[in-house]
Amino acid sequence: MMRLTLIRVAETDRYTLGRIEDAEHRQVCVTAERPWVDKDGNGLGDKNESRIPAGVYTCRRDLHGKSKPDPYEVWEICDVPGRSEVHIHIGNDVQVDSLGCPLVGTDYGPKGTIRGSRAAFANLMQLTKGHDAITLTVKDVEAP
């Protein structure tokens, strides 16, 4: 199974920035996620407000925006505790385009946004073409 790693590199109270690398540690894209929010202290993060917990996940192909006119194929991050329909998808600003899903881009923009999301997403889907499932390891920001 193909292996990718999402490495979180910076976080604020508004966003978390990272990158996705392939098994040879080559950067595939940058990422933006919501910050960690865990108001009830259960260690799972709050649904629709928080990024997902660090861990190792299986991802399977799914459709994003199933109820909209133009759904598109994405990677669903499966078995996230307390969550469903967590997708790696297109978007530029986590406060507008995400409810806890990782967004992908070609580079970082201002104030926690990312740029080139459609191009980065197309690259990710091309890289993973022919795979029905992938393993995604998510690592939190390392302490200094």
Summarize pLDDT for 115-126 with one digit per residue, the tens.
999 999 999 999
Q: Please state which of the ranges 11-25, 43-57, 63-77, 82-96 shows the lowest mean pLDDT.
A: 63-77
Read off the pLDDT of each residue in 106-120 and give the average, rounded to a whole number. Answer: 97
pTM above 0.75? yes
Residue 126 is part of which domain span?
Answer: 2-139
pLDDT of the residue at 18: 98
Looking at the domain assignment, is residue 144 inside a domain?
no
Looking at the domain assignment, is residue 54 inside a domain?
yes
Looking at the domain assignment, is residue 99 inside a domain?
yes
Confidence band, pLDDT 50/70/90 cuts, at residue 38: very high
Looking at the domain assignment, is residue 13 inside a domain?
yes
Looking at the domain assignment, is residue 22 inside a domain?
yes
Looking at the domain assignment, is residue 35 inside a domain?
yes
pLDDT of the residue at 15: 97
Backbone dihedral region of 120: left (phi > 0), alpha (psi from -120 to 50 degrees) or beta? alpha
Looking at the domain assignment, is residue 11 inside a domain?
yes
Strand partners, 16: 11, 33
Confidence band, pLDDT 50/70/90 cuts, at residue 70: confident
**Number of separate domains in the chain:** 1
